[in-house]
Amino acid sequence: MNLLRSFVRRTPLGWLQLSKEKSRLLVALSGVAFADILMLMQLGFQGALFESGVQMPKSLNADIIITGSEIINFNNADTFPRGRLYQALDVPGVEQASPLYLSLTRWKHPITLEKGTVLLLGLDPNLEQLTRPDVKAQLDKIRLPDRILFDQNMRGDFDAVIAKIQQGTVPTTEINERQVRLNGLISVGSSFASDGLLLASDQTFLRLFPDRASTKVNLGLLQLAPGANADQVARRLDSYLPDDVQVFTRQQFVEFEYGYWKNNTAIGFIFTLGVAMGFVVGVIIVYQVLATDVNSHLEEYATFRAMGYGHQFLLGIVLEEAVILAVVGFLPSLGIAVGLYHLTRGATSLPVFMTLARAGGFWWRRW
């Protein structure tokens, strides 16, 4: 109440000082907005790094995931013997276990023949191994050999390819010197590891990689009996299965993937550094603006002191200015960053989105 009263009677000196010099204010705000945009872009890239990394792990239709013990990340999931999956079925609570094959592989653009890197997933078309609706609806299209679902959000210019698929004239291309047919469209998008996703049946996958034995699988997807506790079952599996596999709950697997992109890649660090640099630039700009402003009002401030205003009062003016610059500079930068995110999305097919947390200043959160 008292605070409100003193707020109402207080002359908003910081605001009045800033707004008196319109052009200086504009320059200051652009500076702050610039630093904010710099930071938001870096955060956007970083967010895309994480999101693109975890979007496939998130869409695995499994309560527990088994991987080879040497797994680096989802895209480089080391293989393990398929027999481990049958063993896993021994553990109470495990109802179903199915293998998933995957490989980062080179392929050729069906029309321009440009080479690219894609993640090829081989799944069992009789099971719903992925929760993605676009995949679930089109499993029939990959039952026949050498049929593939093509990621229409793949990085690169695939408009003609997409148009062909939509018209039903099935384009063909080569993977590992074998012809495949692009039979349907899914929408996943690129990541920092691949241009996009190609989806085939496990049979097709093994035909494309003849040197891979079907007994070597990349991921095991386990589904639990209703009511089973995933953490408990995971612990039991961990002690029951040999050391050549690792056991994750779905949540743990997603966290593992986040951790990889955040801590184990150079690019995760680079974005963090970029954010820090943007912050420093912002600090320098704001400091410069405030210092100039204080300097040009020294006499007035001395007069206020002579009138009996304390040191706090002067600090309050500077603080008020800082808050105004921060808030008013942030709002346009938010708009501009959203625009730039849109452009980046178009150019890279990466999931660069403004999150509520980031817009609200909680950049370290994932919501």
Residues near other proteins, by CB under 8 A: 6, 8-11, 13, 16-17, 19-20, 297, 299-300, 302-310
Of 117, 243, 263, which Cα lies nearest the Cα of 191?
117
Nearer Cβ to other proteins (15/363):
15
Measured from the CB atom, is 8 or 356 closer to other proteins?
A: 8
Task: Report, in Å, the least distance between residue 292 CB and other proteins.
Answer: 14
Q: Which one, 21 or 255, has the nearer CB to other proteins?
A: 21
> In b/e form, how buried is each residue of 217-239, taking b as 16+ CB within 10 angstroms?
bbbbbbbbeeebebeebbebbbe
**CA–CA separation, 221 and 238 (whole Å):** 15
How far from the centroid of its chain's Cα atoms is residue 272's Cα? 14
Write the CA distances from 203 to 81, 129, 167, 213, integer angstroms.
Answer: 17, 15, 26, 11
**Shortest CB 6 distance to other proteins, Å:** 7
The residue written with tokens 């346009």 in the block is: 332
Nearest distance in Å: CB 8, other proteins? 6
Q: What are phi and psi of 97, to 5 degrees?
A: -140, 130
112 vs 303, beta carbon nearer other proteins: 303
CB 291, min distance to other proteins, A = 17
Q: Identity (one letter) of the amino acid at 146?
A: D
Of the pair 14, 57, the CB lying nearest other proteins is at 14
Nearer to other proteins, 143 or 305 (CB): 305
Q: Which residue, 25 or 241, has its beta carbon nearer to other proteins?
A: 25
What SS3 class is residue 70? coil
DSSP class of residue 290 equals H
CB of 327 to other proteins, least distance (A): 20
Angle between helices 13-20 and 311-348 (to 10 degrees): 60
Q: Which is nearer to other proteins, 130 or 324 (CB)?
A: 324
Q: Kindly give, in sequence order, each residue whose CB lies less than 8 Å from that of residue 240, ignoring residues fewer than 6 positions away.
A: 87, 88, 90, 91
Q: How far is the CB of 306 from other proteins (least distance, A)?
A: 5
- 127, burial (CB in 10 Å: exposed 0-12, middle 13-18, buried 19+): middle
At closest approach, how far in Å is the CB of 343 from other proteins? 40
Are residues 155 and 235 in contact, defined by beta-carbon separation less than 8 angstroms?
A: no
Q: How far apart are the first and last CA of the chain?
A: 35
Minimum distance between the CB of residue 188 and other proteins, rounded to whole angstroms?
56
